[in-house]
Amino acid sequence: MENSPLNYFIRGFFLIYFIYNPSENSFFIPCPFHFITGFFCPGCGSQRAIHLLLHGDVVGAFRFNPLMVLTLPVLIYGLGITISNWIFETNHRFMLFYSKLFIFGYFGSAILYWVLRNLSFYPFNLLAPSS
């Protein structure tokens, strides 16, 4: 695993996002949905948020994409269980991922977040990525 292509890809991904600020460099891919419609999708601001998280600025990352920042601990925990299962050949499961209530609730929240972050009045305008 140490010298696998996936390992190099992941290291490169984090290195690029650590070194280069997506707000200041044009080689990062802009959101196609925002480009076409002018509205923010649930992922808008994620690239800038990842850059800020890698520099330890959780509050700044939260200003760009609060949904992503709040979702990351759950995803990291689930990924940790998956990697642990792979390394130790176990079969543990993060039961939250198997709950219909969680799945439908999360996607319902993401859709609601999508709609609310495009409203132009307070307090919903705070959900839009800051410039």
Q: Six-digit token pair at 49? A: 């948020």
- Compute CA distances 32 → 41, 63, 85, whole Å: 9, 21, 36
In order, the DSSP letters of 10-73 are HHHHHHHHHHS-TTT-TTSPPPHHHHHHSPPPTTTTHHHHHHHHHTT-HHHHHHH-HHHHHHHH
Under a CB-based contact definition with an 8 Å cutoff, are residues 48 and 21 in contact?
yes
How high is the pLDDT of residue 113? 97
Domain count within the chain:
1
Range of the domain at 81: 5-127
How high is the pLDDT of residue 2? 64
Residues 79-86: what's their mean pLDDT? 89
Task: Give the chain's count of helices (H) and strands (E).
Answer: 6, 0
Instruction: State pTM to two decimals.
Output: 0.83
Residues 32-53: what's their mean pLDDT? 95
Whole-number percent of the chain with pLDDT over 90: 67
How high is the pLDDT of residue 7? 79
Residues 92-117: what's their mean pLDDT? 93
